[in-house]
């Protein structure tokens, strides 16, 4: 009898690990699909003001050229290889139909074949990194049955599809680093968070919105300290300024500016395509409702992580191209956590192991009294 019970338990364990391994393999395959879909459909590097060569050499227009994480990392890795490897990469790009097609879609010339291949490899790592960072984040935020985190990760990868039709060199790193930063906040990994924040703001200045959910890193629900929160906020601001100011000064003579005005483009779109404009407004309103419905009951890290999306929406209206929803990568993971909580509320309410917004707000009087 004991032997039969042991065998049954062993079979269940085998099936569980087999299914988990299968779902993990699917996550990798879905990530690969997202990567190729992005490369072949986003028109990445097609903008002549932010061309691949311009971004790598530092000759692109502002503000694109100031988003230096991937270009600098690519150049650093490329410098480690001898000239023979550069020539081999160039030969591969011109002799292989697949590589030629891939680099063509990447809008990278054969003279920069090695840089392009390294950059593509880093882009792929960012997609996979995002997937597993999100899986870890989901596990930290919600208490769910086994394998739900894997299934949710597959869905979050599919949800990226509408955002992948327009892209720049720094988009996938932005998605990955923002999600990893949120994971560090949820896991209370303060030192790791500061490192991720530094890389994220090097990649794109808008990653500073991570400072909003990061308030939880310095917040004790029982005895919240104003001084700790202030120092934590100032430390993040310091990281931002120490990195962004020198980069901005380095490229101050490049053509372009630090902000591109596109409000007129949105107005023109609404005027020429009113039906599409109305549908866009309804979709945006629906997404906002899904994110913030019963927000007090949702995990604070998810709500605070998604809240900067409202600011990004305003910036999108003034500085983003119509339908350029890629500008919301910074809040995608947090927004998804909120939306899935709303959708699952009736059938299978998600329990959180982290403080809710209600619990966080309840500690606010103690925080304010401590000032």
**Model confidence over 56-97: pLDDT tens digits?**
999 999 999 999 999 999 999 999 999 999 999 999 888 888
pLDDT tier at 347 (50, 70, 90 boundaries)? confident
259 vs 181, higher pLDDT:
181
Is 361 inside a domain boundary?
yes
352: left (phi over 0), alpha (psi -120 to 50) or beta: beta
Is 8 inside a domain boundary?
no
Tell me, what's the pLDDT at 45? 95
Buried b (16+ CB within 10 A) or exposed e, 132-165: bbbbbbbbbbbebeeebbbebbbebbeebeebbe
Helical packing angle, 2-41 and 113-141, nearest 10°? 140
Number of other CB atoms surrounding residue 24 within 10 Å: 15
> pLDDT of 145-204, one tens digit each?
878 999 999 999 999 999 999 999 999 999 999 999 999 999 999 999 999 999 999 999
Please tell me the number of Cα atoms within 13 Å of 247 on its side-chain side.
25
Is 3 inside a domain boundary?
no
DSSP character at residue 359: H
pLDDT higher than threshold 70 for residue 313: yes
Specify the pTM: 0.93
Helix%, strand%, coil% for the chain, nearest 5? 75, 0, 20
Is 11 inside a domain boundary?
no
Is 13 inside a domain boundary?
no
Q: What is the DSSP string of 114-159?
A: HHHHHHHHHHHHHHHHHHHHHHHHHHHHEE--TTHHHHHHHHHHHT
Task: Give dist(CA 207, CA 177) in Å, integer.
Answer: 9
Contacts of 86 (CB under 8 A, 6+ apart): 78, 113, 114
Residue 183 lies in domain:
22-369
Number of domains in the chain: 1
pLDDT tier at 32 (50, 70, 90 boundaries)? very high
Task: Give dist(CA 172, CA 125) in Å, integer.
Answer: 9
Task: Give dist(CA 5, CA 65) in Å, integer.
Answer: 63
Is 119 inside a domain boundary?
yes
Is 270 inside a domain boundary?
yes
The mean pLDDT value for 317-343 works out to 90
Is 189 inside a domain boundary?
yes
């Amino acid at each position: 009898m004991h032997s039969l019970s042991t065998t049954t338990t062993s079979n269940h364990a085998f099936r569980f690990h087999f299914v988990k391994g299968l779902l993990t393999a699917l996550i990798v395959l879905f990530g690969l699909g997202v990567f190729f879909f992005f490369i072949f459909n986003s028109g990445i590097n097609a903008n002549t003001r932010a061309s691949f060569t311009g971004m790598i050499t530092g000759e692109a227009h502002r503000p694109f050229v100031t988003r230096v994480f991937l270009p600098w990392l690519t150049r650093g890795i490329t410098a480690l290889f001898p000239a023979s490897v550069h020539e081999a990469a160039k030969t591969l790009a011109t002799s292989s139909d697949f590589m030629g097609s891939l680099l063509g879609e990447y809008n990278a010339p054969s003279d920069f074949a090695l840089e392009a291949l390294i950059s593509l490899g880093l882009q792929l790592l960012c997609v996979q990194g995002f997937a597993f960072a999100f899986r870890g984040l989901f596990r930290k935020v919600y208490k769910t049955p086994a394998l739900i985190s894997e299934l949710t990760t597959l869905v979050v990868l599919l949800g990226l599809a509408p955002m992948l039709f327009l892209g720049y060199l720094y988009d996938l790193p932005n998605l990955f680093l923002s999600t990893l930063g949120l994971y560090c906040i949820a896991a209370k990994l303060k030192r790791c968070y500061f490192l991720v924040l530094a890389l994220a703001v090097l990649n794109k200045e808008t990653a500073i919105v991570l400072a909003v959910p990061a308030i939880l890193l310095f917040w004790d629900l029982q005895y919240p300290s104003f001084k700790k929160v202030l120092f934590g906020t100032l430390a993040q601001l310091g990281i931002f300024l120490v990195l962004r100011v020198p980069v901005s000064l380095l490229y101050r003579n490049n053509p372009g500016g630090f902000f591109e005005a596109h409000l007129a483009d949105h107005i023109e779109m609404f005027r020429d395509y009113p039906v599409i404009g109305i549908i866009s407004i309804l979709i945006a309103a629906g997404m906002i409702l899904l994110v913030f419905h019963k927000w007090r009951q949702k995990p604070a890290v998810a709500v605070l992580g998604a809240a900067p999306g409202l600011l990004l929406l305003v910036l999108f209206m003034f500085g983003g191209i119509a339908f350029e929803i890629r500008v919301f990568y910074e809040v995608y993971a947090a927004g998804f956590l909120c939306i899935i909580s709303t959708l699952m509320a009736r059938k299978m309410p998600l329990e959180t192991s982290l403080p809710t917004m209600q619990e966080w707000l309840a500690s606010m009087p103690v925080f304010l009294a401590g000032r």
